[in-house]
Structure 1
């Protein structure tokens, strides 16, 4: 008596197509729960977004693009701005500040501080709807600095006389081959003062404070989250969980909610091994040079 063949043996093509369709259905179901594009967990329907600002702020494109994407996504009802940054270059900080301000005009934004959100790290977050900091988070540090080194005296001791030709008396300001002249130092200090005025004005605007109140603490001092609450620089004490709960409250969301997180940061194998992302690597390479920074 001939053995009865199984369906897969009698109809191998149909069986193969059925398995492919089943696999596609399973993958679709998984993707509905796990947002593969952002690597975060979701539950369908309304979502909240998360913007990560991590490490020295040396560029802004990825963060600004992600903020714009969240702003234009109607399914994202509010955004968590997670900051763990000691600051960075001025222009990128200002670009992120502007992007956060535009975002807060159309949906709630709650900033949440990790270990540090100081200087430029505070700057980018102050337009948020609300700011939540841990009591021990380091923040504030409202101020501007310029860093550079000069080697002219050392070179002369070695018998090397540096020569720098320029078309104006200020063009050589900051060259490592010559010390600053009195005029150059005064001109750079004037430049720093203007940048400081911009910083103070933007913090006052973002926090709804008088400029005089901001200027009173804008001397570069770092403060704890608890001190920042007294000064009016943050709104509430708490960690990321408390910040998310506040965001859900502002968005009138109850229960579980989907989360989309970004921007994604591609890392090389070397970066994974040493534990540094591209922003930290760029910070290490660029910060010691001639640069104005918050």
Structure 2
């Protein structure tokens, strides 16, 4: 049976979809799927990215896994509606990149967000007593302002993450770091602009990317099937699968699935540096 699966896989293209904000659950799913691509010896992988980015560490782990897989499998990344920030970083793990002309991409940079609720807490009469081992142990605490020295520490950390991003793009796209820095200021651009900047190689649809992947693998695009691995379930889908009857009515509420995903992401990534585009 294992031999039969591998034999079929050699005549098929694997497809992995990365959608929504990138955090721990996405990383785990994608890494497991990439392992399947390697084990089943798929000759090509179509990586569909439709994401505004996410956490730095999770994006890096997916990128490094893609780099390793390059040695065995042809990889084509297809940028969908949006592939920005961490989505771009992951895309750098693919030697061949295609985007739609109107894809929102770019936003190369790092952001770290914290909430200061000090004034609100004062109004409701809530305060915290903190015992800590060092002056920076509660950096980004939500009940006080950042100090000047804390701002310096955080900015230095962000600058290091930014340099990692710039260096990765420069190496992957065979550009100088100076060239990458000229447009890596957080701005977004279209797929057409990304082509001009050499961030992507071609313009086209996901189907065009599938054809390209088949051709790179020496397969007939018209006769080659695309097998999606590790299909993603949203937080809403997971909840519904646990309790269909009581939560079925939520499906009819517009935007609730997206709202739940962002809530989950915010809880997972509070206080973390992000490669994320979010207006």
Do both share a fold (TM > 0.5)? Answer: yes
Q: Aligned with 2:91: secondary structure? A: coil
* Partner residue, 1:256: 223
Contact 1:47 1:257 in 2 (8 A): yes
Aligned mates of 2:60, 2:230 — CA distance in 1? 18
In structure 1, runs of 5+ residues without a counterpart are 1-31, 36-42
Aligned mates of 1:278, 1:238 — CA distance in 2? 31
Aligned mates of 1:155, 1:276 — CA distance in 2? 30
Aligned counterpart for 1:292 among listed residues 245, 250, 273: 273
Shift in Å, 1:166: 1.9
Aligned counterpart for 1:215 among listed residues 178, 181, 189: 181
Aligned mates of 1:72, 1:278 — CA distance in 2? 34
Shift in Å, 1:148: 1.2
Change (3 A) 1:151 1:51: same
Which deviates more from structure 2 when the two are superposed, residues 224-233 or residues 267-276?
A: 267-276
* Partner residue, 2:54: 88
Change (3 A) 1:163 1:70: same
Rg larger for: 1
Aligned counterpart for 2:211 among listed residues 221, 245, 252: 245
Is 2:16 aligned against 1:51?
A: yes
Aligned residue pair count: 252
Aligned counterpart for 1:65 among listed residues 32, 48, 71: 32
Is 2:264 aligned against 1:282?
A: yes
Change (3 A) 1:280 1:108: farther
Shift in Å, 1:157: 4.0
Q: Aligned with 1:53: secondary structure? A: strand
Q: CA RMSD in A?
A: 2.4
Greater per-residue helix proportion: 2
Aligned mates of 1:72, 1:58 — CA distance in 2? 24
**Given the two structures, how large is their TM-score scaled by the length of structure 1?**
0.79
Contact 1:145 1:192 in 2 (8 A): yes
Report 1:25-174 matches (<5 A).
46-59=11-24, 60-74=27-41, 76-174=42-140
Shift in Å, 1:228: 0.5
* Partner residue, 1:178: 144
Shift in Å, 1:286: 3.4
Contact 1:134 1:237 in 2 (8 A): yes
Write out per-residue CA displacement over residues 14-36 of structure 1, whole angstroms, 9 at most, x where no aligned residue.
Answer: xxxxxxxxxxxxxxxxxx9xx9x
Aligned mates of 1:67, 1:215 — CA distance in 2? 31
Which deviates more from structure 2 when the two are superposed, residues 162-171 or residues 138-147?
A: 162-171
Q: Aligned with 1:121: secondary structure? A: helix
* Partner residue, 1:202: 168
Shift in Å, 1:79: 0.5
Which deviates more from structure 2 when the two are superposed, residues 152-161 or residues 239-248?
A: 152-161
Is 2:199 aligned against 1:233?
A: yes
Aligned mates of 2:215, 2:9 — CA distance in 1? 19
